[in-house]
């Protein structure tokens, strides 16, 4: 019976393993094959005068990245990966790989990101790349577990919708029979509707779609968002949930993914400390204005250049709070004593924005006013507004970008490295 390479130890005696041919070294009378599966790498040592003829015939034909099945005796070998080697009785070629390969899985030859993404199935065979997605899986697991332990209800909201979440031009229209429809920008409207349903605490991890014409290292047109909404909570309470979730996720990855962190040489991995700093918007733009040439005034959004300057100043995760109402969505709750400022926040990593959230407007009339003030037609949001007429509790929430979280956690240079099959302006396949 086949066993994972990770479980192959000298005390087993005899082993049956399957995997890909990672590397080959032929020294004449002695050949070395490195066989790789998802758990690790095993050295297969072939003394040519001592193995069956069928084994010799197979190793003459086999190519790198072919799938093989090897059985034999396991011995101690200190210089080999894992301190052991397998001397084969059988060497079966299960599926022969074509040559040349689209990219070098052993990582001895560098390759551009576009080439890697074009052959993603092969790229992810590389231990360094696979490690990213093992860590991403661990992060998603602990976040799901966190929400369940905190009493959240997991929900699934539509990705085909009739009205945009926030309006604007960042929409993907789709053909939906005889109706106008769009891919959803966010589960925002639906998770708020569930507050009216009495669920009180909901979360969703799922795709969102933004038709942004950005071609940067941090933007995608299909992304994974982690969203929550909480009844009877203000913006401060959901900020505390967010920073606690971030810390718990880092702690879990640090505790359970040491081998994968080593594979991607993530030497600067540090668990952040809560509470994160709260930086008012007015102070944030003051910091940026001192170091960038472009003028910044109250009501301007914070540019990427300004983000970098502020991030360098802060040096760790932080919140930007108390945003101008004019540049936040219509559902952000304004302060009672100064409606020009709202109870909105962004969670920032020193490199970029990770999350955006707010206490929401829960009063029907005020919400209608704010929709109209943004130049949108309240009639287009009737399905959303209706629950606000029948007893909507106060509530707050946020959305967190999973792809950017992994990118910043692991120090990746491009968000596409954190996504198996990224979708951007130019990439629709594979």
| Cα–Cα separations (whole angstroms), residue 391 to 165, 194, 364, 386 | 22, 12, 9, 10
Indicate the residue among 60, 95, 130 that finishes a domain. 95
Same-domain status, 127 and 220:
yes
Same-domain status, 225 and 265:
yes
User: Could you tell me which of 7, 26, 173 has the C-alpha nearest to residue 74?
Assistant: 7
Query: What is the per-residue pLDDT for 268?
Result: 83
pLDDT at 11 over 90: no
Same-domain status, 244 and 170:
yes
Give residue 253's pLDDT band: very low, low, confident or very high (50, 70, 90).
very high
pLDDT tens per residue across span 336-355: 999 999 999 999 999 999 99
Distance between CA atoms of 105 and 128, rounded to whole angstroms? 10
Read off the pTM: 0.94
Same-domain status, 242 and 384:
yes
Same-domain status, 144 and 179:
yes
Q: Residue 43 sits in which domain range?
A: 5-95
Q: Is residue 9 part of a domain?
A: yes
Of 335-339, 356-360, 377-381, least confident by mean pLDDT is 377-381
pLDDT at 213 over 90: no
| Beta bridge partner(s), residue 345 | 321, 357
Q: How many domains in the chain?
A: 2
Q: Is residue 262 part of a domain?
A: yes
pLDDT at 374 over 80: yes
Q: Is residue 405 part of a domain?
A: yes
| Cα–Cα separations (whole angstroms), residue 133 to 107, 128, 263 | 17, 10, 12
Same-domain status, 91 and 127:
no
Distance between CA atoms of 333 and 337, rounded to whole angstroms? 12
Same-domain status, 85 and 136:
no
Q: Is residue 100 part of a domain?
A: no
CATH of residue 67's domain is 2.40.50.140
CATH of residue 216's domain is 3.30.930.10
Query: What is the per-residue pLDDT for 364?
Result: 97
Same-domain status, 321 and 213:
yes
Give residue 165's pLDDT band: very low, low, confident or very high (50, 70, 90).
low
Same-domain status, 32 and 134:
no
pLDDT at 168 over 60: no
């Amino acid at each position: 019976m086949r066993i994972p390479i990770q479980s192959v130890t000298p005390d087993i005696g005899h082993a049956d393993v399957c995997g890909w041919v990672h590397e080959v070294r032929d020294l004449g009378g002695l050949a070395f094959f490195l066989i790789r599966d998802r758990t690790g790498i095993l050295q297969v040592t072939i003394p040519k005068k001592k193995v069956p003829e069928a084994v010799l015939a197979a190793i003459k034909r086999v190519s790198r990245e072919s799938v093989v099945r090897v059985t034999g005796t396991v011995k101690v070998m200190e210089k080999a990966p894992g301190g052991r080697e397998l001397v084969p009785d059988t060497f079966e070629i299960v599926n022969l790989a074509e040559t040349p390969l689209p990219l070098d899985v052993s990582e001895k030859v560098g390759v551009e990101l576009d080439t890697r993404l074009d052959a993603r199935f092969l790229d992810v065979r590389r231990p360094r790349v696979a490690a990213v997605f093992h860590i991403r899986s661990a992060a998603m697991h602990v976040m799901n577990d966190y929400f369940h332990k905190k009493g959240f209800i997991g929900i699934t909201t539509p990705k085909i919708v009739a009205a945009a979440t926030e309006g604007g031009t960042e929409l993907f229209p789709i053909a939906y029979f005889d109706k106008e429809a769009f891919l959803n920008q966010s589960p925002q409207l639906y998770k708020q509707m569930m507050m009216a349903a009495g669920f009180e605490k909901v979360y969703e991890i799922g795709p969102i779609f933004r038709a942004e014409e950005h071609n940067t290292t941090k933007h995608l047109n299909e992304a994974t968002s982690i969203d929550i909404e909480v009844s009877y909570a203000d913006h401060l309470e959901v900020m505390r949930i967010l920073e606690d979730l971030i810390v718990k996720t880092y702690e879990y990855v640090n505790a359970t993914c040491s081998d994968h962190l080593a594979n991607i040489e993530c030497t600067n991995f540090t668990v952040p400390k809560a509470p994160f700093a709260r930086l008012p918007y007015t102070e944030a733009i003051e910091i940026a204005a001192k170091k960038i040439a472009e003028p910044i005034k109250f009501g301007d959004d914070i540019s990427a250049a300004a983000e970098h300057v502020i991030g360098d100043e802060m040096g760790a995760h932080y919140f930007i709070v108390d945003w101008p109402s004019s540049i936040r969505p219509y559902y952000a709750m304004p302060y009672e004593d100064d409606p020009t400022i709202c109870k909105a926040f962004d969670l920032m990593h020193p490199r970029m924005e990770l999350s955006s959230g707010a206490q929401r407007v829960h009063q029907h009339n005020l919400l209608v006013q704010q929709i109209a003030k943004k130049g949108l037609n309240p009639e287009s949001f009737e399905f959303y507004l209706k629950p606000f007429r029948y007893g909507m509790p106060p509530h707050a929430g946020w959305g967190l970008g999973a792809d950017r979280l992994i990118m910043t956690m692991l120090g990746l240079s491009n968000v596409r490295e954190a996504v198996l099959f990224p979708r951007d302006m130019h990439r629709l396949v594979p």
